[in-house]
Amino acid sequence: MIQKEYQEEELIEAARLLFGLGWKSVKLYFMLGQPTETEEDLLGIVDLCRKVSAAGKHQRQVTASVSTFIPKPHTPFQWAAQVDLEETEARQQLLRRELRRYGIQFKWHDARLSFLEGVFARGDRRLGAPLLTAYRLGCRFDGWTEQFRLDLWQQAFRAHHIEPNFYLRRRLLGEPLPWDHLDSGVTKQWLQRDLAKALEGTLTPDCSVERCSYCGACDFKSVRNVTYHLNGAKGADHRGPEVDPWARATLPAQDRWGTRQWQMMQQKKAEQQQVRIKRYRGVLDEDKLQATPLGAPSTTPSTAPQPAAQPPSSGNADEWLAGDPNTVAASQGTPQRAVMRFRLRYNKLDMARFLGAKEVATLFARSCRRARLPLAYSQGFHPLPRLSFGPALPVGMESEEEFLDILLHEEMSAKEVQQRLNAELPSGFHIQQVQQIDLDRPSIDVSIATQRYQVALDTLPLEKRDPSFVQERLGQFHHAQTFPIRKRTRHRERTLDAKQLIPAITLETPLTLSVDIAMTDVGTLKPHEFIGALLTLSPQEVKILRVTKTVTQFRSDVLPRKEPLHPEQEPLPTTG
């Protein structure tokens, strides 16, 4: 009825394919309250969810997300009635009860919000007054359930003698509509014909692959029917001249792709072409006429020059196939146990300093995939590669020494890990050393004692980068008993004593400071925070400081290795 051409079997087969590829959950989207809907239709939602769950052997999470159908202007259903609030809640309760029997998770739209949306979707100018009144009564952020106050909306409607259910009713086909003065390009007569087809269960032809249905949107002058385009409107997005050769060359010959309507049209065109060839050549024996496979070049001899074969273009196929590296586990079924753990030391320099922590995590996950490292994955519904990074660098800061732990489920040498990753990492990243460590070794964060930073002062105003001023401030810091710094976090603000967190600070050159910052149980400081307080810099001056992390010193009380290093490995120095 709503012009969806796909069959139930196709959806179940897609779910079976996804579950076979390792996906752990599937969400199905439905609508309730469509015209002519019966209790049997609602139970059909439950039945379809049960079949999808069976495709995953009832071991995968299936979620049914059900919204309420709301008729909208300029659509074939603008004359249809919307189910009222009480009926919507009753149908939701039916689905909730039946889906629970099969372990299907149920999500639904708030029936009160759908009721209000339906009122304003097909409302007229009289709703302006209650809308303003509701705002003055305190209706704010209605999309948040805890903020939504239907009683205030009803109070506003009563204040202006508005019956909201009036706007949810069925409209007569000849009734003037509040939006009749607006032209969407599609004629009302076509919408009424399409509504009749919907109620009969008849599909309207897709004019991107079939004949024009004369909806009124095209004037065939400035706006032409999409069949004028090379591959149609949908072809431009999904079956264009670049993607189509890629699919034909990549998919097996027996596999068809695209919508069924598109396949039928292509088959029809192929049959018509064969008929034309037969008539032209005078072929009478139809058995001798070989059908040309869909997408394959014709085998009929021809004296006309044939164009040179072009290599298939990937088009936007890469976008189709590229997935989040943190989504699909490396192995199916039970996650494989990690057998090796490596600690990587790498640098992050030049333009790479503008990548944030999340981007760096994604970058290494993808690089590990390209390097074909046998990464171990976490368990659960959302498996993630077991990568553990050190403290995150602020965006814009360079580092000559960053650390990353990776866990593998297969044996591999440290040298091979280093070579494979360096071949895939972009400019600005380079693996300096790889060392195998125990699986139960403490994390990078808790193992770090201090980090050394180099701060360039050449971007500061002359008075703030004057060596005598810097030396004076350093002397005041060294002789002070305490040096309190206000530290603001996302949740609170507190004061830290920099004297307890800065074990060493020196002026290496007239324009270069070297500062060591300790990682303690009570917290730590960012170099920008400390230098800003030390040199009394403004927030704008702090932002333009060029800072580079140079050395990381680990604690001496970390767990010792239980096994000797491999011959190709060298121990990580304790001072970086």
Judgement on whether residues 172 and 290 belong to the same structural domain of the protein: no
What is the residue-wise DSSP string for 408-432?
A: ESS---HHHHHHHHHHH--TTEEEE
Which contiguous run of DSSP H or E holds residue 197? Answer: helix 188-200
Count other C-beta atoms under 10 Å from residue 404's C-beta. Answer: 20
- Domain with residue 392: its CATH number is 3.30.70.580
Domain boundary among 170, 190, 210: 190
Judgement on whether residues 374 and 404 belong to the same structural domain of the protein: yes
Confidence (pLDDT) at 108: 94
Confidence (pLDDT) at 275: 75
| Residue 573 forms part of a structural domain | no
Mention every residue, 6+ apart, whose C-beta is less than 8 A from residue 468. Answer: none
Judgement on whether residues 474 and 501 belong to the same structural domain of the protein: yes
| Residue 2 forms part of a structural domain | no
Domain count, the chain: 4
In contact, 402 and 390? CB cutoff 8 Å: yes
Judgement on whether residues 503 and 525 belong to the same structural domain of the protein: yes
Longest dimension (CA), the chain: 107
Domain boundary among 422, 441, 460: 441
| Residue 460 forms part of a structural domain | yes
Reported as a single tens digit per residue, the pLDDT across 299-324 is 333 333 333 333 333 222 223 222 32
Confidence (pLDDT) at 64: 96
Confidence (pLDDT) at 560: 37
In contact, 295 and 248? CB cutoff 8 Å: yes
Judgement on whether residues 358 and 465 belong to the same structural domain of the protein: no
Q: How far apart are CA 388 and CA 439, in angstroms?
A: 12
Q: What is the dihedral of CA 297, 302, 303, 309, to 10 degrees?
A: 10
Judgement on whether residues 369 and 315 belong to the same structural domain of the protein: no
**Count of CA atoms in the C-beta half-sphere (13 A) of 510:** 6
Domain boundary among 419, 441, 463: 441
In contact, 29 and 65? CB cutoff 8 Å: yes
Confidence (pLDDT) at 153: 96
Cα separation values, 212 from 230, 424, 463, Å: 15, 50, 75
Confidence (pLDDT) at 146: 87
Judgement on whether residues 145 and 283 belong to the same structural domain of the protein: no
Boundaries of domain holding 363: 323-441
Residues of the chain with pLDDT under 50: 227-247, 250-252, 254-259, 283-333, 381, 558-576
Q: How far apart are CA 22 and CA 331, in angstroms?
A: 8
Judgement on whether residues 431 and 467 belong to the same structural domain of the protein: no
Q: What pTM was estimated for this model as a whole?
A: 0.44
Confidence (pLDDT) at 336: 72
Q: How far apart are CA 401 and CA 516, in angstroms?
A: 14
